[in-house]
Amino acid sequence: MSRTNWRDHDWQLIHGEPRSPALHMALDEVLVEEVAAGRRAPTLRIWEWASSAVVIGRFQSLRNEVDAANAAAHGIDVVRRISGGGAMFIEPGNTITYSLYTPLSMVEGLSFEQAYAQMDAWVIAALLELGIMAWYQPLNDITSHIGKIAGAAQARRGNAVLHHVTMAYDIDAQKMLQVLRIGREKLADKGTQSAAKRVDPLRSQTGLPREAIIAHMIETFRHRHGLSDDTLREDEVARAQTLAASKFANPKWTAELA
């Protein structure tokens, strides 16, 4: 198998209605499997959130990462995703999250480090066009001179790769520190210091509404790689709903690493 390029594929865009955190987790698993099985063309999915969430990595300890009592008090769902990496705090409108479901051939022969940087090169370009000097910081961060902008994670399924990223648009840092157990040494990694009230690298550096940044990112992708508008198929949604209920809303999965 030789490496394929972006333009070798017929990229599809899904940017639909707000979904629950558990359904988002399930859609990632279903869609990467659809691409692996060849039933779906490679796809960019932009997420919209129906409710707040803490999303922990596949290998993180629930107890070590999340203050469950504070999360419950704020009405925040805690879910575990299928990729590794660190915990994220999400409130609707405060982050930009997207997933790429790509054939494994796109990262053929690349190191993990190179694979991460390649999948987000279009985002770095989009941010530069918006006036943000951003760069990839190995292993899996997009950063700028005022701190971290985004964290990425990948998971492989058969002949496909899930690459998803959450970018900080305007995060309530005080609330984040109440629900995530972050050691002082990790604060810098979350793009904040304990005194900060907001972590808002995208909002403060562009002055643009979240929707305008998303629109620009989509246009950058379309221009560089080609992109056709698409929607989720009914069977994909149905499978994701079943999986959300049986797995991602199930404490057995969320607390698999206690």
From 28-36, 60-68, 196-204, 241-249, span contacting other proteins (CB under 8 A): 60-68
The partner residues of 228 in beta bridges, in order of sequence, read 12
For the chain, the residue count is 258
- Judged by CB, which is closer to other proteins: 64, or 159? 64
Q: Which of residues 65-104 bind other proteins (CB under 8 A)?
A: 82-87
- Comparison of 82 and 213: residue with beta carbon closer to other proteins: 82
Which helix (H) or strand (E) element contains residue 166?
Answer: strand 160-168
Instruction: Please report, for residues 124, 136, 212, 236, the alpha-carbon distance to residue 80 in angstroms, rounded to integers and kept in the order given.
Output: 27, 25, 29, 20
Indicate the residue among 18 and 138 with the shorter CB distance to other proteins: 138
195 vs 258, beta carbon nearer other proteins = 258
Count residues near other proteins (CB under 8 A).
30
Ranges within 16-45 binding other proteins (CB under 8 A): none
Q: Using the rule CB under 8 A, give the single segment among 92-100, 121-129, 235-243, 247-255 that binds other proteins.
A: 247-255
Task: Decide: helix, strand or coil at residue 94.
Answer: coil
- In the structure encoding, which two tokens stand for residue 207, read together? 């002055």
The identity of residue 125, as a single letter, is: A
Q: Binding segment for other proteins among 125-133, 154-162, 193-201, 226-234 (CB under 8 A)?
A: 154-162
- Closest CB to other proteins among residues 79, 153: 153
User: 7 or 63, CB closer to other proteins?
Assistant: 63
C-beta of 156: minimal distance to other proteins in Å? Answer: 5
- Using the Cα atoms of residue 23, residue 25, residue 26 and residue 32 in order, give the sign of their dihedral: positive
CA atoms within 13 A on the CB side of 151: 15
Q: What minimum distance in Å lies between the beta carbon of 64 and other proteins? A: 6
Our CB check for other proteins shows the closer of 100 and 213 to be: 100
The answer to the question of residue 158 lying near other proteins (CB under 8 A) is no
* Tokens encoding 211: 């929707």
Residue 60 binds other proteins, judged by CB under 8 A:
yes
Which element (helix H / strand E) includes 45?
Answer: strand 43-46
Q: Using CB under 8 A, which of 154, 166, 192, 205 touches other proteins?
A: 154
Establish if 110 lies at the interface with other proteins (CB under 8 A).
no
Give me 220's structure tokens. 């950058």
Among 64, 114, 159, 174, binds other proteins (CB under 8 A): 64
Q: Residue 191: which region, alpha, beta or left (left: phi > 0; alpha: psi -120 to 50)?
A: left
Element (H, E) at 29: helix 21-36
Nearest to 26 by CA among 257, 238, 255: 238
- Distance, in Å, from the CA atom of 68 to the CA atom of 74, rounded to the nearest integer, reads 10
* Interface ranges with other proteins (CB under 8 A): 57-61, 63-64, 82-87, 112-113, 138-140, 153-156, 185-186, 251-252, 255-258
